[in-house]
Structures are given as C-alpha cells and as structure tokens.
Chain A
C-alpha cells in the first residue's frame, strides 16, 4: 500500500507538542521511534496528516534512577538506552532483559518504551516486566497531568485509556525493595528475531524469614492485553517458597491466560509455555531474591 503524505513537526518543548496536538486535533499522531506507527500507516491504512515528533522535546529521552524515587523513563527514551542503563540493569533485570532481546538491534535503537506501551499490542515486551514492577504512566495534556497505573492502562488489543491529546511524559517505576528478585522470559516459536509468542515476567520479594512478602507475575501475548496472574500471586504471598509451591503457582498461571490460535503459535502451545516459562521465572526470581547469583 502506498504511504500517504504527511507533515512532521519537531517541537522542542512539551508545551509546543501539546499545542500542535490541539491545533491539528484530528488527523494528528504522536511520533516516537515510529516503528509501530509507520507500519500502521504503510500497511494498515492508518491516516495521519500531521505527525508530532517527540524526539527533539527537551528532556524527554532521559532515564534516571534514584533509590528514593525509583526509575523514571522519559516518554521518548529508546529501548536500547533503557536496556543498557546501569540503574535498570542493576535494579530491574526483567525490564533490562526485555529491552535488550526484543525486536532487532535496529528497532531497539529507534523504538521507545512509551511507544511500546501506548501501541498496546498484547505481545508488547516491556509491558509484562513493567506490570510486575508496578509501573505507572505520567500523562499530560493541556489541562494538566495525571498518573495512570499500568495495571489499569490497557483496554484491549491496540487500546488503552490514554486520551488522543495526551502525551506520556514519563513512566515511573518504584524502587524494588530489599530481598527482591525479578526476571523475564520470552519465547518465540521460531527465529530469534521475532515477536514473542509468550512472555512471562515475575517478581518475588521475601521477608526476613524468607517467606514471600509480595509476588507479581504478568503475562504477555496470551490474552487481549498483558495480564497479571492474581491466582499465582496469592498462592505464593505469605508462603515459604519451596520448589513444589513454585511449580504449582507457575502451573496456575495457565488459568490467567486466554491465548488464541494464530500463525505464530497454537493456543495449546501458548498455554503449555505459560506454565514452563512461569516456573522458570519463579525459580530465577527466588534465586535472585535469596541473594543467589544468576
């Protein structure tokens, strides 16, 4: 399909970006890395006469970590930069892993975490880790700012609660507590360069006695949106995490997913893989939380 003609605007500040959005109202789209947007314009008939690029907006590509505030990922921060940020690598291994294995090096150099979330693909690789870490999005519009928990963000494939004239300014992720381990595993049925057929992220936080204080498990690509596995989380919280319990909790994740058959994998395969990956993720989280090396 031929690419329609459009104008790209390069605002320098968030205010200018918001102005541009409201000036053009309909037929305008925000552009970050463009790795989802341009595909949709080229192949899926998405129409936009104006693209407002976030790439030159001052400060929007920053990534910062402080023990007090946790992690702040700017609304135009690149996947590759997030993946290799020392704070992310140290405190958020699940996110670092997702950002450094998804897509291809070229796509990771252009694509952003915000774009990945706003695009709202069920298979978005950063979504499951960020759900496990309890992230939220800071959205701004001309009227002001609001914080949206990622858990409440997704509405369906390609759908979120973000308003058309809102910009994700940043993604905030709380600092992980002590005795915490987290991990992400993704699997694509075929090539290494592939959209995940299944992705599982987990986080385990132990108390001083070694019991599970908090557990978070989230799945990608196996439901209309990325989802949490509340049943498994509840099975683990307050319990001593022995191997048998981890296996049972991992197996229970299958009940949190509603996979489909498609050209990438069958539902039966995805279901089986949710269990395999969830169990692997939980084991790894436990080892990390107990202070074990990788």
Chain B
C-alpha cells in the first residue's frame, strides 16, 4: 500500500525547540495569584496503626492556612480498576493504617514551601507499629501479617491462563527444564518529578493542572474521591517531562491539592522532589518467576508452565494489569501447544509498584528469553535457530488472546543476525567478549476495559477553516513520546493539510472530545491515530460536494486531498485549494462550522490488543574478569513496528529504550533497608546510565503493514524496552561464564560467580 509522503518521514518534534530552549511551561512553572504551597506528611514506618494525630501545633504556625488528615476527607477508595471495585484499595490520606514508608498521612497548605515543611514536622502522629513484610515469599507464607484485611494471604489478585494438555506435553517431551528467576525494582526516573496546581471556582468546581499521562482517568477518580460530579472537575496538563507509566493514576497530592483548594478557596501547588520520587514513588514490579518448558527433539516448544509472584508493594496501583499482561507476555513470541500461567499479585510493605514501560513484559521476557538461551545451549542449537523454529508469524493465533495480523519476527531475527555479525563472531570468539540475544513482542494498546469507561477508547475532533488551516483537538497525552507531532502527521496525511497549518488542542478534559484513556500500553498512535483518520474522513465528506458541483463530476470520480489542495484524482487539473474549498463549503452550509469527530474502540480484537509489535536485539559485551565490570560494546536491533509514522521518533524510542534497558540490567536498583526505608534517594546512588554510558547502536526497521493501524503503524514505545536485559545477560554468559538469573548484573555477582570473591 502506498502511503502519503508525510508518513515515515523524520519530522523533528514540533515541541522540541521550546523544550530545548527552556521556553516550554511545565506544571511547576505555573504560579497563580494568591497561590499556596502544599506538603505531605508521610509515614516513617512500613506498617503501623495510626492511633492519634494532633495537628494543633502545625495549624498554629504562622503562614499555615490549612492542615488535613484522612478523617477530614470523604474517604472514598480509588484505583484504576473501576471494573473490579474490590481492587480499589487506596485512600488519598491514610485513615486507620499506614502500609509503607512514605504512605501519605497528612497535608499542609501554607504561604511558602518552607513553612509547609516546618508545619509537617509539627504534626504529631502516634503509631502502633505492626510487623512488616518485605518479600513476596514472606507475604504468602502461612500466618503472615495481613496488610489489607480484605486480601487473605496478602494476594490481591490471581490471574490464570491454561490451554492445551500440559501434563501430556511434559510427559512426551524430549527435553524439559525448570528455572527460577528474580527481578528487582527500578524506577521510571522521569526528568520531571510529579507536580500539580489546583484552583477552585464557584465553590464546587475545580481545575487541576497536573503532570500526568491520564487526564481523563484523573478527572474521573478525582471527582469520585471528592464526591463531586465528573463535570465539576477539569484536568489539564502542560508540558510533561516523561511518565513511562509512573504518572498513570490519581495520586494523593492531586487529591490534596484539589481538596485544599476547595477548602481554602485559594490555588495550591504540590511539587515532589527527586528524593520523594526515589523513596516513595511508583516503580517496576519485582517478581519471583518459576518457568518450566518442554521441547521436542527438533527444538519445537511443546509446553510452558509459568508462575509469577508480583511484588506489588502496599497497594494495587496498576499491578492487576501487570499481573494479567505478564501471563500474556509469557507466550506471545512463540507457539506453544500447551501453556499454563498462574500470576499472583502480592502485597508487601513497600512503596507500590505500578506500570512501567513494558508493563510486566521486561520481567517476563527476562525469564522467558534467558530460558530460551539456556535451552538452546542444552539442545545444541544456535539460540537464533531455536527461535526461528518457534517464532510467531502473521496469521498465527495466540490462544485466547488474538490472531496476529502482522508479524515481522522471523525477519527481525534474520536481520539482527546479519547486522550483528552473529555467526562469524560466535565462531571466532574473543576472550572476555560475548554476543547475546533477547526478543520481544508488545501490544499496541489494550483492549480489556479495566477502567470501565463509558466512552470510546479514543476520540478526536477536527475543524477546518477558510484560511486553509485546521485544528485538531484530542485528549491524547504527549508526555514526551511524540503524539503531538505524530497525530498531526496523520491528520496531514489524511486531509492533505500541511502539518504547520494544524493547531493542536490537547489535554483539557473540558474542551477536548470524550475521551481518551491516556498514554500507556503503547496505545496512542494506533488508537488516537485511527480516531483522527475517522474525523478527517468526515471532514472530507463535507468538502467533497463543493468539488462535485463546481466541476460537475460524475459519481464515479474520487477526490484526492494533498498539498493543501483538493482535486479529482483522475484529473488533477480539476483542483481547488483547501482554503477555497472550505470557504465554499462554509457558504453552502450557511455558516455552520466544519467540525467532525472520530472515535476508535477496538472491537472483535480479543481482550488484549488489536496489534502486536515484534523484534530481536543482540548485545555485544566485554566483561573484565578482574573487576567484574560489564561494558556494552554495541547494541543491534531489528524490529517490526509496522509502518513507522515518524522515523526519527522511532529512533528516539529505541535509544531511550536501550538506555533504560541498560540501567535495568546493570546499574539501577532501589535499595531498601530492614525497615523498608529506601537508601538510595538521589541520582548519586540511584544509578541511571548517562550519555557517557551509552553504547553505540545499529538498527533496522522490518517493514510490515498492520491492517488495524493508522497507515499500517503499530507500537514502537514499550516493546523496545524489553529485550535488552536478556540480551545483555546472555552476552555476559558468553563472555565470562556467569549466567544471570537474578537481575541486576553487578560486578560483585560476576566476581562471585567466577570464584574471585566470596
């Protein structure tokens, strides 16, 4: 299929100049007249009953305007899984118990941040300490203390998948292996810590500017926790400095800002610090994973038994989704005649884990892909050959999930083999060097409606004006990943209006069409893109009559919308500028504006996703056997994201994904002490790879056309964050003989495995 020229171009992001020059406005830049500053008092204990709170001294401090505790609030529990109300386990401020170090207990509004902080220190809280649990194994052990009374055994959610005859497959298999894996907690480390500003109007309406990736979800949950109609809450966002899954829920400061703004009648701002984020913020789920696989003599996968304990921390957050998806990611890449998954979401007294780029997949893939590499070795097969034998292809079915409508997995494997020099380098092995492989598949947006929205999953509104310009309004949320540019490219491609003539209005729940579920699950390009195309199509239908009457066209003619012109496809001389066409259409409509809305909701697409990306990555590493240090020499990636709408954006996603994958595998780790307090709360000790740590990379796009995606596109955001850990882990094994089954790979673990330290 031939796409319009603008599809697949490398268009620099339209928001980039403002961000690079410091002109972009972020939430913390907002200052309103009379604005107060909020601070949160957090629990110093991991698990305790609140016996008494006395805020008198804090209230008495000059400059303090209000102090609230849980008892002052409506106490409505919230959580993203509205479909399962029992899963909604959070309160904005703790009422009877605190469940992790950092659980929010009180909030102060004061004239300046320093006073607010001093007031927090004056709040007296008497706790009765309870025994705390920090591992999933302890949490599910018999007699373990209960973190939530409603969840016996501290398991808040169980997800099972089963198909095929597992026992028989294991019995007839040529080769069976079992492994256990552990993965740790890392953080999104978005550059902009969370911040929000609330302003009350007319007594019971509130506007919230917040650094979020889900304005609509925040609107709904804020309304329910405040006890207000949804329509009384307006959520807007300005530039957002990253999210990666860490900003996709209602958070306590958003509630407190709105609640305090309503109580005091003054605008109010909360801004978190980096240390707040590292110590108390959302994070990727640590998991304990058991996996058993069976192969035939030829290397065909016969069965897999996949059991996962997700360490959810103190609340569900987005853990239920991760629990569901983890099972699906355990079987997405390869064909299994039999598969069984048991995923359990377990509470512990740690800061809650939630969504983070990959949503359960980086963990599942680290286990699954490492196991593939182990199996290949035992079966005497090249790891890439083993994958080619089992790889999913277009038209294959992921049982109980979906039929894959486009799949470039085999091509990715072949290409990455080529560009990495896989066969040659494996033959001429240099000491201390190794190549390793990891693969991925990911969803292009979720289908399962856990938020229980009554609206379409995405919506767009297009207007055209007689000066030839257009306006696109939608709730899609650009948090740095690029939809503000990509959606305009899609509109430009469909309507023929130049991209610089499109004004974008986004992220205002009161002004943009209902609704959009937000930025997560790599859904925006596909879902919002489809909504934009539908809206543009309706506009074209409104404009077509102008040309048909002007040129007295035969019914069989077709029109083209390109280069700010409308013309007869078979006879391009019969043409009119888009501006003139809109002008004439307006006249014909006696002044009624040309406005159209488009929507998208995946239907008949199973319960997981309408489309799937695929890819393979090879890491080349050097391990210093004396120091145990791993240096990634180069990363090679071949991936299928359908038709890339903006090549430069896809490259950016890949680079960022490698950076995150590198950190996950080698450096990043949130370290907690025996009391559940985080020890590394600055970037000095929470190690993220910097530009200096980035290895060079080489990549190829494997072109497929996804029939469900706008112009053939599917996701390119999260999938790429998955393969790096198993690829590096495999390469480290090839370089020095240390096989990592428990991330991260530290020099100490390498040296211990090599017998150099105890």
Contact = CB atoms under 8 A, between A and B. Distances in A.
Interface of A: 1-2, 43, 104, 187, 189-195, 263-266, 268-269, 271-273, 276
B590 to A, nearest CB: 61
A263 B680 contact: yes
Contacts of B758: 268
Interface stretch (B128-136, B542-550, B681-689): B681-689
Nearest to A192: B692
B690 interface: yes
A265 B117 contact: no
Contacts of B690: 104, 191-193
A191 B687 CA distance: 6
B756 interface: yes
Contacts of A194: 687
A88 B627 CA distance: 28
A104 B748 CA distance: 25
A263 B667 contact: no
A161 B333 CA distance: 64
A268 B692 contact: no
Contacts of B692: 191-193
Given A43-B682, A190-B687, A272-B756, 16 more contacts: A2-B114, A2-B117, A187-B629, A189-B747, A190-B666, A191-B688, A191-B690, A191-B693, A192-B693, A193-B693, A263-B679, A263-B680, A266-B748, A268-B748, A269-B751, A271-B757
B757 A269 contact: yes
A190 B666 CA distance: 7
Contacts, number: 53
A237 B747 CA distance: 33
Nearest to B117: A2
B488 to A, nearest CB: 36
Contacts of B693: 191-193
A176 to B, nearest CB: 28
B331 to A, nearest CB: 34
Nearest to A193: B690
Interface string B670-683: 01000000011010
A234 B747 CA distance: 31
A109 to B, nearest CB: 15
B626 interface: yes
Nearest to A279: B626
Interface of B: 113-114, 117, 626-629, 666-667, 671, 679-680, 682, 684-685, 687-690, 692-693, 746-748, 751, 756-758
A49 B629 CA distance: 44
B382 to A, nearest CB: 32
Main secondary structure of the interface of A (DSSP, over half): loop
15 contacts: A1-B117, A2-B113, A2-B117, A43-B682, A104-B690, A191-B667, A191-B688, A192-B690, A193-B693, A195-B684, A263-B671, A263-B685, A264-B685, A272-B757, A276-B627
B117 A272 contact: no
Contacts of A187: 627, 629
A188 to B, nearest CB: 9
A191 B626 contact: no
Contacts of A272: 751, 756-757
A263 B683 CA distance: 12
Nearest to B631: A192
Contacts of B679: 263
B746 A189 contact: yes
Nearest to A275: B626
A189 to B, nearest CB: 5
Nearest to A105: B692
A43 B681 CA distance: 11
A43 B279 CA distance: 15
Nearest to A197: B747
A273 B627 contact: yes
A104 B684 CA distance: 12
Contacts of A271: 757
Nearest to A264: B685
Contacts of B114: 2
Contacts of B667: 190-191
A266 B746 CA distance: 11
A53 to B, nearest CB: 24
B126 to A, nearest CB: 25
Nearest to A277: B627
Contacts of B746: 189-190
Contact of A265 (B666, B682, B748): B748
